[in-house]
């Protein structure tokens, strides 16, 4: 008897899943040990989706070229009530009440769930995993973090014997493309964003990509999986790339690094220090070489050391392939629900408490001795200086950067306060501080 799959939503990702299931039907049968049958597809625009993805129209629910929302909801309810459906693929998107109801109901009706919906899992993952446990079913979410990179299976299967110390990476292709263009082509942020939109890397509304929200959804999922951290998405510190200046990009290059939007989590004792924010990545770190819309994940373990996985973080067939890998796994092993990482009791702590090297860009009055004044204030806080950049002189101001050895952000803030108190007017703006990832 075939393992029957229903796809809810046949846009870019859902269409990719349907194509792979149909094109690779015989190969997937061998890999799964059972035939995987695409039973039905529900989409608001079935005729358009069928033509776009080359999927037979008779696989789509409904008779007309389009479905009204009420008709689509009725078709979804039929899928949920159909006991012959073994697994539901959710590629509708969103994280509102409607999609939570659909996905929870799929599990409660005795079906496995596979999704690429990182916002849904970041905001409602605990609720859905509880529903899966109660039903004895599994949630496959390989595609939710970095699409084609098999990071979820790599962590749950390949590194089960590892004691993971830290995880860092580039989880958003849009922001990485923008920062790559700023570094390699000298583009401003605004021009690089427009370029990303023209090439299809950025949406018309790129807010979640450039403000760290999309990457934050993905990091939230991994922090729970890797560290068993009971973390809410809203509590994860996030800073986007829209404040990165050409000057900071230039200073990063002089200091032997490049600026990347980094998802970062590091365990120290009973604490996990985590954030999404721009960092300077030193050239010796492989993440510094990840350009364009590519994604990468760097895992450092106690025993295995460093592992880096690189691949495409978006795309129809790229994301579809990750979803199909979950379908095959569940078709083969679905009688044994996927293991989950229990809550560990570790606590999320502010990144500023962790000792890291930092790069600090100062804009000062262009007066003799200002570099010495700043360096002295930094030294008074027991911060060792690694290097000092060349000064960039304006008409009446100067900019320079100081890279520190590992220290806390609190020490840096005290140094800045010392300068402002003892040399008022010497700092023309708030110093721009970026952690350095070595």
CATH of the domain at 411: 3.30.70.260
Query: Which letter does DSSP use for residue 232 in this model?
Result: -
- Domain limit, last residue, from 120, 141, 162: 141
- Domain limit, last residue, from 87, 106, 141: 141
**In the prediction, which pLDDT does 39 show?**
98
- pLDDT tens-digit readout, 168-177: 999 999 999 9
Q: Identify the band that residue 335 occupies on the pLDDT scale cut at 50, 70 and 90.
A: confident
For residues 212 and 109, membership in a common domain is answered with: no
For residues 390 and 421, membership in a common domain is answered with: yes
- pLDDT tens-digit readout, 3-23: 999 999 999 999 999 999 999
Say if strands 139-140 and 112-115 run parallel, antiparallel, or are unpaired: parallel
Q: Does residue 422 lie in a domain region?
A: yes
- pLDDT tens-digit readout, 185-236: 999 999 999 999 999 899 899 999 999 999 999 999 999 999 999 999 999 9
The three-state secondary structure class of 145 is helix
Nearest residue to 80 (alpha-carbon basis) of 135, 33, 119: 135
Question: How much is the average pLDDT of 33-53?
Answer: 97
Q: What is the pTM of this model?
A: 0.95
C-alpha distances in angstroms, 389 versus 315, 363, 375? 40, 13, 12
Query: Which letter does DSSP use for residue 342 in this model?
Result: P
For residues 27 and 87, membership in a common domain is answered with: yes
**In the prediction, which pLDDT does 396 show?**
84
**In the prediction, which pLDDT does 339 show?**
67
- Domain limit, last residue, from 318, 351, 384: 351
For residues 287 and 375, membership in a common domain is answered with: no
C-alpha distances in angstroms, 415 versus 280, 356, 399, 404, 405? 21, 16, 17, 12, 14
pLDDT surpassing 80 at residue 341: no
Q: Identify the band that residue 342 occupies on the pLDDT scale cut at 50, 70 and 90.
A: confident
Arithmetic mean of pLDDT over the chain? 95
For residues 221 and 260, membership in a common domain is answered with: yes
The three-state secondary structure class of 69 is helix
Question: How much is the average pLDDT of 377-406?
Answer: 94
For residues 251 and 391, membership in a common domain is answered with: no
Q: Does residue 330 lie in a domain region?
A: no
Q: Does residue 166 lie in a domain region?
A: yes
Query: What whole-number percentage of the chain has pLDDT above 90?
Result: 92
Question: How much is the average pLDDT of 386-397?
Answer: 90
Q: Does residue 260 lie in a domain region?
A: yes
Q: Does residue 395 lie in a domain region?
A: yes
The three-state secondary structure class of 385 is strand
- pLDDT tens-digit readout, 229-279: 999 999 999 999 999 999 999 999 999 999 999 999 999 999 999 999 999
Indicate which residues carry an active-site annotation.
Answer: 218
- Which residue carries 């679905």 as its tokens? 334
For residues 292 and 159, membership in a common domain is answered with: yes
Task: Compute how many other C-beta atoms are within 10 angstroms of the C-beta atom of residue 218.
Answer: 26
Dig out the tokens for 371 from the structure. Answer: 């570099």
DSSP-assigned beta bridge partners for residue 399? 363, 392
Q: Domain containing 45: what range?
A: 3-141
């Amino acid at each position: 008897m075939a393992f029957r799959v229903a796809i809810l939503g046949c846009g870019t990702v859902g269409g990719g899943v349907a194509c792979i299931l149909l094109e690779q039907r015989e190969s997937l049968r061998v890999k799964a040990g059972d035939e995987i049958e695409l039973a039905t597809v529900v989409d608001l625009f079935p005729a358009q989706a069928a033509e776009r993805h080359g999927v037979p129209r008779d696989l789509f629910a409904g008779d007309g070229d389009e479905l009204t929302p009420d008709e689509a909801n009725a078709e979804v309810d039929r899928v949920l009530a159909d006991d012959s459906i073994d697994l539901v693929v959710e590629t509708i998107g969103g994280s509102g009440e409607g999609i939570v109801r659909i996905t929870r109901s799929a599990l409660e009706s005795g079906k496995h769930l596979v999704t690429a919906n990182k916002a849904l899992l970041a905001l409602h993952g605990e609720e859905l995993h509880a529903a899966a446990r109660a039903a004895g079913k599994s949630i496959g979410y390989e595609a939710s973090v970095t699409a084609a990179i098999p990071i979820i299976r790599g962590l749950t299967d390949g590194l089960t014997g590892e004691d993971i110390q830290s995880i860092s990476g580039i989880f958003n292709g849009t922001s990485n493309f923008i920062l790559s263009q700023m570094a390699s082509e000298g583009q401003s942020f605004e021009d690089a964003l427009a370029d990303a939109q023209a090439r299809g890397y950025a949406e018309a509304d790129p807010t979640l990509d450039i403000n760290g929200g999309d990457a934050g959804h993905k990091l939230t999922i991994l922090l729970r999986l890797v560290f068993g951290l009971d973390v809410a998405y809203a509590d994860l510190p996030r800073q986007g790339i829209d404040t990165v200046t050409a000057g900071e990009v230039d200073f990063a290059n002089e200091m032997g690094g490049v600026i990347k939007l980094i998802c970062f989590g590091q365990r120290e004792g009973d604490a996990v220090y985590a954030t999404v924010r721009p960092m300077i990545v030193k050239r010796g770190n492989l993440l510094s070489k990840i350009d364009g819309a590519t994604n990468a994940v760097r895992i450092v373990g106690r025993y295995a050391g460093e592992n880096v996985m690189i691949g495409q973080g978006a795309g129809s067939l790229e994301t579809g392939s990750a979803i199909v890998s979950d379908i095959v796994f569940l078709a083969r092993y679905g009688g044994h629900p996927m293991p989950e990482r229990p809550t560990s009791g570790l606590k999320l702590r502010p990144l500023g408490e962790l000792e890291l090297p930092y790069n600090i860009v100062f804009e000062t009055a262009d007066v003799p001795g200002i570099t010495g004044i700043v360096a002295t204030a930094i030294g008074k806080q027991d911060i060792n200086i690694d290097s000092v950049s060349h000064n960039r002189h304006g008409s009446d101001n100067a900019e320079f950067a100081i890279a520190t050895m590992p220290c806390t952000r609190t020490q840096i803030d005290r140094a800045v306060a010392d300068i402002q108190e003892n040399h008022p007017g010497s700092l023309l703006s708030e110093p721009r501080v970026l952690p350095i990832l070595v």
